[in-house]
Chains A and B, each alone.
Chain A
Amino acid sequence: MEQFLHELWIARWPLAQGLLLTVEISVASITCGTIIGLFGGIGLTYGKWFLRWPIRVLVDCIRGIPVLVLILASFYLLTFAGINLTAIESGLLALSIFCGAHMGEIIRGALQSIPPGQIDAARAIGLTFPRILAYVLLPQAMRQIMPVWINTGAELVKASTLLSVIGTGELLFRTQEIIGRNFMTLEFYGLCGILYFLVNSMIERFGKFAGQRFALQ
């Protein structure tokens, strides 16, 4: 135990940096993913067939491929296409695309549950489609997806561990580095798991709170 505390004290900064990077990656990818998902969801719900079909195919394809394959593919493929991204950037790209596909489906579901009469009513008072989206549809849809959206955040924190495979210095990678030095696998993998658990249960708690706070009556 004393040795573990000693090693932990030595490893405090790498662990803190890793945790910070994990949070940063998760926040960045959920932000980009939500923006992609917003466009995707709107396209899926209200787009004409030539817009809807390609998005449908793309979303289904991304959802049918494991995240790890997406991450490895974006890491190795982009270099060959002449685009040089760092490991973090290509990981972020893969996570954003993954998150975007899932958010697209979630947002489509929320938009479709809004009664179509509201669009007719908004048209009747002379709103253009962008305004209908901004003032009528999105405020309701956003409230509805709030709990799911926060859960997606926890999902992304978990998915960000996969970036350790391509050598991004997030929490799991830092843990592996530390274990490579002191061989205390049990203690440090355990600690790593507990840290992830704490972060995710905080997000889960917050999601429950937000679900009650923003629920539509």
Chain B
Amino acid sequence: MAYSFRFGVIEANLDNFLQGLLLGLALAFAAILIGTLIGLLCAFATTAKSRAPSRLVGIYVSAIRNTPLLVIVLFVYFALPQLGIRLGKLESFIFSLAIYSGAYLTEVFRAGLAGVPKGVVDAGRAIGLNGLQRALYVIMPIMWRNCLPALGTTFISLFKDTSLAAVIAVPELTYQARKLNTETFRVAEAWATASLLYLSTCLLIAAGLRQLERRFPKF
């Protein structure tokens, strides 16, 4: 079948595509911010002396990790209003992605905490720092550095997961590509552009992360 490429349509809609890309990045960024808070809380909760918090965290992590993100997104957007919790498209997607990433980040931070040498924590105790001070000034700086690579890959995969927002009609990149596809039937151009934008953004983020890791040498 003869198919002639015409990239004029893409040029005319390039603004939409770029806005979609930025929206995707913003969604991923918002989600990882909230997810980091959840992850930190959960990871520190597992270090508590009593067993109850770590069991609760375990349930949360395995429940989220074993449920598809699309089901979580649809549940939050369509089912929660039945319970009287009404969120907008953007808010509900950020919320879903945040609790989703929170579970993965809990694991990341837990591994990061396990990598903090015990002697350093004891040293903190010896100079009279209390629990909160030790967490803030001794454990966290080392933990951040340990977690940096895993945080970076999580961010990249969250960015790719923002494509699911298209399903609840959030106008991000995949949504724009699909719209252009159905409106103009420039199928190949639309998907090639979307793929290329996703790919180059992921590669750029990965390159930036490598620089960041070099800037902060390992403890």
Contacts and interface: CB of A to CB of B under 8 A. Distances in A.
Given A61-B195, A65-B160, A204-B66, 18 more contacts: A64-B199, A65-B199, A66-B160, A67-B160, A68-B166, A69-B174, A69-B198, A81-B1, A81-B3, A162-B164, A172-B68, A176-B74, A186-B82, A189-B78, A190-B75, A193-B67, A196-B66, A196-B67
B174 A189 contact: no
Interface in A157-181: 157-159, 161-162, 164-165, 172, 176, 179
Given A65-B195, A158-B69, A193-B71, A165 B167 contact: yes
Nearest to A200: B66
A142 B194 CA distance: 36
A84 B30 CA distance: 40
Contacts of B162: 66
A146 B82 CA distance: 42
Interface of A, helix, strand, loop or mixed by DSSP = helix
Contacts of B75: 189-190, 193
Sort A-B residue pairs by CB-CB distance and give the 3 closest, nearest first: A200-B66, A66-B163, A64-B199
A159 B66 CA distance: 11
Interface residues of A, number: 38
Most buried by B among A158, A172, A189: A189
A150 interface: no
B167 to A, nearest CB: 6
A73 B68 contact: no
B1 A201 contact: no
A59 B164 CA distance: 22
Interface in B26-69: 62-63, 65-69
Given A68-B166, A197-B63, A76 B187 contact: yes
B116 interface: no
A68 B174 contact: yes
A189 B191 contact: no
A93 interface: no
